[in-house]
C-alpha cells in the first residue's frame, strides 16, 4: 500500500511572477547604428564595449552611470532610428594603413598606399562594401566621403566605422514619442531615462513624453544663462522652460561639462541602486563627473529655476538641491512611484495566485492586507513616517453597490500616510555662559 493512500499531501505553489518596474535600471537613448534592436541591456561596461566605442555618447553616459558607489548592475540603451543615407567621411589620412568598417558585424577593409588620399580611401571602402554580401549599398561622393543605404528601405543594420573616419550628420524623422513608444513596446523594464542629445527642443519633447509615464528623466545643460540670469529674467533656458511647464518627472542640472559628461546619469546611478525612500538626492558626491565652481549668486539663480548643480561646499563636492522642475524632490517622486508599483504588483499577485478573492469582507481584507504591507515596507525603507502611523479604510461588502459587485470592482480602498521627508538644513540656537 503506498503511503499516499493514507496521507495525501498536495502543495499548491502561489508563485506566479508579476512584472515590476525596473527601478534600478537606466535607459540611455541615442541615435546610433550599434545594434538593430530598439533596446538592449548590458550588465557591465565590458559588455557594452562589444557594441560601442569608448568615445560614443552612449558609452560615456554608461561610464558615468556605472562609476558610482554602490555600482549599478544594469543599463539599457535605446536606439533612435537614423534614416538612410548615412554619410561617412575619411577624416584622418594615413599612408600604408588599414581602414575598416563593420556592417552587421561583417568587416570591410581597405589598405591605403604610400601616397594616400581621402578620395582613394573612400573609394576603396565603397568598393569593398559593394563587393560584399551585406544588404547595404555604398555610394562614393568622390570627395573623400561616401554614403551607406539599406538595399530595402527602413531595414535596420549595424554600423561601426574606423576611428580614422567620421560619421557625418544624420537625419532622424521620427519624433521622440515615436522613439520611446517603440522602445517601450520592446521592453518597459527601466525607470530612469537620459538622452545623449542635449538639444533643447529634443529635451523638451522627452520631458513632455515622460510626464505621462511612471519614469524619471534627467538632463544637463551648459547654458551660461542658467547660472548667470535671474529666475525672473530667464524665459528661454531649458531650466526655465521645464519649470514653466511644472514638470514633475524631469530634472535639470547646470553643468559646464554637459557636452562631454552625463551628470544626470551619474546622479541616477548614485540613487537608483538604493531602496526608494532611503535617500535624498541632495548632498551626493558623484564619481567621474566634474564639479563646477560657482558663486553664491549663480547657485541661487540655478536653484530658483528648480534646477540642480554640483559644487564644492565645505570641502565636499555635493549635489544641490535634488529637485525636479515642478518643484518636488527627486527622491519623493521615485518613492511614490515605487509605492504605487509595489502596492499594485502585490494586490495583483493575490488576484492571480489565489483561486479567487471573494467579494466578501474576508476577501476585501485580503486586499487591505496588501495595502498595509506595502505601507509598512514604505516605513521600513524610510520613505514613510511611522508616527503618525498610516491608516487604511475599506468598505464592507454589504455597502458596495450591486453595480460594482456585478462588475466585480472593489471601490473606495483608501489610505493616508505621511512622508518621512529628509533634513536638508539645520538651525541651531545656543547660549554660552561663564
pLDDT tens for each residue of the chain, 434 residues long: 565 554 554 444 554 544 456 789 999 999 999 999 999 999 999 999 999 999 999 999 999 999 999 999 999 999 999 999 999 999 999 999 999 999 999 999 999 999 999 999 999 999 999 999 999 999 999 999 999 999 999 899 999 999 999 999 889 989 999 999 999 999 999 999 999 999 999 999 999 999 999 999 999 999 999 999 999 999 999 999 999 999 999 999 999 999 999 999 999 999 999 999 999 999 999 999 999 999 999 999 999 999 999 999 999 999 999 999 998 999 999 999 999 999 999 999 999 999 999 999 999 999 999 999 999 999 999 999 999 999 999 999 999 999 999 999 999 999 999 999 999 889 899 999 98
Do the beta carbons of residue 324 and residue 250 sit within 8 Å? yes
Q: How far apart are CA 284 and CA 278, in angstroms?
A: 13
- Give the pLDDT of residue 4: 52
- Give the pLDDT of residue 361: 97
Dihedral over alpha carbons 373, 374, 378, 381 (to 10 degrees) = 80
Domain boundaries, the chain: 26-80+174-330, 86-167, 354-416
What DSSP line would sit under 342-402, residue for residue? HHHHHHHHHHHHSS---SSHHHHHHHHHHHHHHHHHHHHHTSB-SSSPPEEE---GGGS-H
Kindly report whether the global pTM for this prediction surpasses the value 0.85: yes
Angle between helical axes of 330-353 and 361-381 (0-180°, round to 10): 150
Do the beta carbons of residue 72 and residue 41 sit within 8 Å? no
- Give the pLDDT of residue 22: 78
- Give the pLDDT of residue 8: 54
Amino acid at each position: 500500500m503506498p503511503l499516499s493512500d493514507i496521507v495525501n499531501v498536495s502543495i499548491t505553489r502561489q508563485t506566479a511572477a508579476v512584472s515590476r518596474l525596473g527601478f534600478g535600471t537606466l535607459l540611455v537613448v541615442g541615435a546610433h547604428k550599434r545594434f538593430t534592436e530598439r533596446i538592449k541591456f548590458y550588465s557591465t561596461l565590458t559588455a557594452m564595449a562589444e557594441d560601442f566605442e569608448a568615445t560614443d555618447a552612449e558609452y560615456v553616459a554608461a561610464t558615468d552611470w556605472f562609476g558610482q558607489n554602490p555600482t549599478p548592475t544594469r543599463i539599457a540603451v535605446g536606439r533612435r532610428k537614423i534614416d538612410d543615407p548615412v554619410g561617412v567621411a575619411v577624416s584622418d589620412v594615413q599612408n600604408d594603413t588599414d581602414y575598416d568598417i563593420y556592417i552587421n558585424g561583417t568587416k570591410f577593409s581597405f589598405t591605403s598606399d604610400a601616397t594616400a588620399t581621402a578620395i582613394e580611401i573612400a573609394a576603396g571602402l565603397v568598393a569593398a562594401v559593394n563587393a560584399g554580401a551585406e544588404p547595404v549599398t555604398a555610394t562614393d561622393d568622390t570627395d573623400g566621403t561616401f554614403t551607406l543605404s539599406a538595399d530595402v528601405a527602413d531595414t535596420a543594420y549595424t554600423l561601426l566605422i574606423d576611428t580614422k573616419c567620421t560619421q557625418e550628420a544624420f537625419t532622424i524623422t521620427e519624433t521622440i514619442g515615436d522613439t520611446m513608444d517603440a522602445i517601450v513596446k520592446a521592453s518597459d523594464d527601466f525607470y530612469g531615462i537620459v538622452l545623449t542629445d542635449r538639444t533643447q527642443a529634443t529635451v523638451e519633447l522627452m520631458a513632455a513624453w515622460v510626464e505621462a509615464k511612471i519614469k524619471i528623466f534627467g538632463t544637463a545643460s551648459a547654458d551660461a544663462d542658467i547660472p548667470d540670469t535671474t529666475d525672473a529674467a530667464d524665459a528661454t533656458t531649458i531650466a526655465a522652460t521645464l519649470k514653466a511647464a511644472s514638470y514633475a518627472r524631469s530634472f535639470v542640472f547646470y553643468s559646464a561639462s554637459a557636452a562631454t559628461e552625463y551628470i544626470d546619469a551619474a546622479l541616477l546611478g548614485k540613487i537608483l541602486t538604493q531602496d526608494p525612500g532611503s535617500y535624498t538626492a541632495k548632498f551626493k558626491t558623484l564619481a567621474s563627473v566634474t564639479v563646477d565652481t560657482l558663486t553664491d549668486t549663480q547657485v541661487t539663480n540655478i536653484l530658483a529655476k528648480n534646477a540642480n548643480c554640483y559644487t564644492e561646499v565645505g570641502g565636499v563636492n555635493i549635489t544641490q538641491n535634488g529637485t525636479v522642475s515642478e518643484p518636488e524632490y527627486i527622491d519623493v517622486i521615485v518613492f511614490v512611484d515605487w509605492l504605487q508599483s509595489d502596492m499594485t504588483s502585490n494586490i495583483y499577485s493575490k488576484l492571480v495566485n489565489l483561486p479567487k478573492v471573494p467579494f466578501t469582507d474576508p476577501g476585501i481584507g485580503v486586499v487591505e492586507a496588501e495595502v498595509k504591507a506595502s505601507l509598512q515596507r514604505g516605513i521600513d525603507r524610510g520613505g514613510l513616517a511611522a508616527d503618525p502611523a498610516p491608516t487604511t479604510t475599506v468598505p464592507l461588502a454589504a455597502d458596495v453597490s450591486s453595480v460594482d459587485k456585478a462588475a466585480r470592482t472593489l471601490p473606495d480602498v483608501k489610505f493616508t500616510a505621511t512622508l518621512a521627508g529628509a533634513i536638508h538644513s539645520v538651525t541651531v540656537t545656543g547660549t554660552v555662559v561663564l
